[in-house]
Amino acid sequence: MTGVAQTGIAQTGIALIGGRLVDGCGGPPVDDAAVLIDGEHVTWTGRAADALIPDGYRRIDTTGHSMLPGLVDAHAHVAAVMCGAELQTQDSSAFSSFFIDQFLRFGVTAVRDTGSPDTGPEFQLLREGRRDWPRFVGSGPNLDGAPGGPWPGLRVVDDPQLGRGAVRELAAQGVDFVKTYVWMPPATLAAVVDAAHAAGLPVAAHAGHILTADEAVRLGVDALEHVRIGPELLSEEKREALKALRTRDYDWLFDFRAWRFADLASAETDRLIQLLLDRRTFLTPTLSVARAVLMGDDEAITGPPGIGALPDDVREQWHAESFTLDWEAEDFGWGRIELQRQMEFVGLAAGAGVRVVAGTDTPNPFVLPGQSMHDELELLVGSGLTPMQAIVAGTSQAADLLGLADRIGTVRPGYYADLLIVRGDPVSHISATRSVALVLKSGQVVFTAPKSR
Ligand SMILES: [Zn+2]
């Protein structure tokens, strides 16, 4: 890739010329394309031969590259790191700037924050946005029933009245959606959903412990986080077998054991998928974190490339806080099957038209900021999505979940010029998204890969 050197003069525009354009909405790619950018927005896309490039535009040759919308990590915990509540390290300000830099560097130009300790200064700053940060949409603190997850700031609201009050407070503090957690009882969830919708806020649930995902959807949640689906797919007999299993420390959080017993060819599976379709529920499977848990005995998973860039104490913390410290070899043996089955479910759901979205759950143990988004896209393809469907899940579909479908997630006139330029063709091989060459946000180049020889 070659680019005309940037002058000190204010830029009038940018023309990306020659690459393959992938619009993020699943439309056919356009070869030898051009994208024209003026200020913060895309103004024109089409075949390069038809482009009228105004004088003074900075021309960037993207031949041999693909031009995609910037990726959206639809499940992350960024504000918690920025305010120092997550991942303690000696030099926390250096670490938080390293952490947030990883998103743009890996082509992730927007994040959906699914839980932070508060809606304080860091949260507000992230929402306001900065040139060198990804766009940010956040829930603030999760709402939960008693006893409540142990995360900083999580609010226990154990009756419908308290639930409604908490939603109104969060709405006043400027959250973009409401996130409920694993101990939330049905009556409170119903009240939370009602109050949130009245305030114009969607509700996302990490269900699957007190409530099945299917019950949460029936109570009106708009989005499911993780694939905490299971008992609702099982016969009475298999549910009893599930209940008889040994209890482990973090089963309340990440219990995927129902997948051991699940039959994906069953009428129950079809019914659940139909429910997700009927309700237009978003499903953010966060397969990256599921894999980090279920294959936590595999050093390739707990030591991914790039982990060396993290401070020693953060890596140590990840090992110390792993969710599988009390697991036995047998648990990990089943873990592979549980991962496989939830991926099959995701493939079936996406194939049927369920709105599957890519999200990682960084910075949970071994889920690296930015980089893990590319793991997630590969895992979605491993689940049976086409590379194009995975790209849609990580761009336009995710933008829709963030409530930004009219501004980001596609490369189209009038949209923010948030773009990821990669070497090669991710529509043929999804792993090409890893070969990040250039990242633009709001029409500005925010990352350029060092020249490789
Ligand atoms: Zn999470």
- The pLDDT of 348-353, averaged and rounded, is 98
Q: Provide the token pair at 198.
A: 């009245």
- Give the pLDDT confidence of 383-424 residue by residue, as tens digits: 999 999 999 999 999 999 999 999 999 999 999 999 999 999
Distance CA 72, CA 398 (A): 6
Token pair recorded at residue 1? 């890739």
What's the pLDDT tens digit per position in 146-186? 999 988 899 999 899 999 999 999 999 999 999 999 999 99
Q: What is the pLDDT of residues 269-279, one digit of tens each?
A: 999 999 999 99
pLDDT at 158: 87
160: which 2 tokens? 């419908």
Phi, psi dihedral angles at 242 (to 5 degrees): -65, -45
The DSSP call for residue 339 is H
Residue type, 23: D
Q: Could you tell me the pLDDT band of residue 6, with boundaries at 50, 70 and 90?
A: very low
Q: What spacing in Å lies between the alpha carbon of 342 and ligand 1's midpoint? A: 17
Q: How many whole angstroms from 16 Cα to the centroid of ligand 1?
A: 36
CA of 191 to the centre of ligand 1 (A): 22
418: left (phi over 0), alpha (psi -120 to 50) or beta: beta
Query: How many Å lie between the centroid of ligand 1 and the Cα of residue 240?
Result: 29
What residues are paired with 33 via a beta bridge? 47
Which comes out higher in pLDDT, residue 277 or 1?
Answer: 277
CA torsion, ordered 236, 242, 243, 246, to nearest 10 deg: 160
Kind plus residue range of the DSSP H or E element containing 73: strand 71-76
Q: Phi-psi region for residue 88, left (φ > 0), alpha (ψ -120 to 50) or beta?
A: beta
Enter the tokens of residue 210. 């007190």
75 C-alpha to center of ligand 1: Å?
6
pLDDT of residue 254: 87
CA of 290 to the centre of ligand 1 (A): 11
CA of 363 to the centre of ligand 1 (A): 8
Please give the distance, rounded to the nearest whole angstrom, from the Cα atom of residue 225 to the centre of ligand 1: 8
86 band by pLDDT with thresholds 50, 70 and 90 = confident
Q: DSSP string covering 351-416, please?
A: HHT-EE-----BTSTT--TTHHHHHHHHHHHHTT--HHHHHHHTTHHHHHHTT-TTTSSS--TTSB
- The tens digit of pLDDT for each residue in 30-56 reads 999 999 999 999 999 999 999 999 999
- Residue-level pLDDT at 106: 98
Distance 189 CA to ligand 1 centre (A): 18
d(CA 360, ligand 1 centre) in Å: 8
Angle between helical axes of 329-352 and 267-279 (0-180°, round to 10): 50
How many Å apart are CA 418 and CA 160, to the nearest integer?
A: 41
Q: What ranges make up the beta strands (E) of 80-125?
A: 108-113
CA distances from residue 383 to 68, 214, 329, 339, 346 in whole angstroms, order as listed: 22, 21, 25, 10, 6
| Cα(43) to centroid(ligand 1), Å | 36
- Ligand 1 centre to CA of 213 (Å) is 16
Cα(415) to ligand 1 centroid in Å equals: 28
pLDDT tens-place string over residues 112-135: 999 999 999 999 999 999 999 999
Q: What does the alpha-carbon distance between residue 242 and residue 236 come to, in Å, rounded to a whole number? A: 10
| Ligand 1 centroid from CA 114, angstroms | 6
Residue type at 407 in one-letter notation: R
- For ligand 1, the distance from its centroid to the CA atom of residue 361, given in whole angstroms, is 5
Q: What is the dihedral of CA 281, 150, 114, 234, to 10 degrees?
A: -20
Find the 421 Cα to ligand 1 centroid distance in Å: 28
What interhelical angle do 287-294 and 371-382 show, nearest 10? Answer: 90
Helix, strand, coil share of the chain (percent; to 5) = 40, 20, 45
Rounded to the nearest angstrom, the distance between the alpha carbon of 230 and the centre of ligand 1 is 19
Sort 92 into a burial class: Cβ within 10 Å, 0-12 / 13-18 / 19+.
middle
d(CA 132, CA 321) in angstroms, rounded, equals: 30
Return the closest-CA partner of residue 262 out of 243, 289, 244, 238. Answer: 238
SS3 309: helix
Q: In terms of C-beta density within 10 A (0-12 exposed, 13-18 middle, 19 or more buried), how is residue 169 classed?
A: middle
- Ligand 1 centre distance from Cα of residue 392 (Å): 21
Per-residue pLDDT, 88 = 84
DSSP bridge pairs for 135: 110
Does the pLDDT value for residue 8 go beyond 70?
Answer: no
Instruction: Calculate how far, in angstroms, residue 74's C-alpha sits from the geometric centre of ligand 1.
Output: 10
CA of 327 to the centre of ligand 1 (A): 21
Rounded to whole angstroms, the Cα distance separating 356 from 345 reads: 11
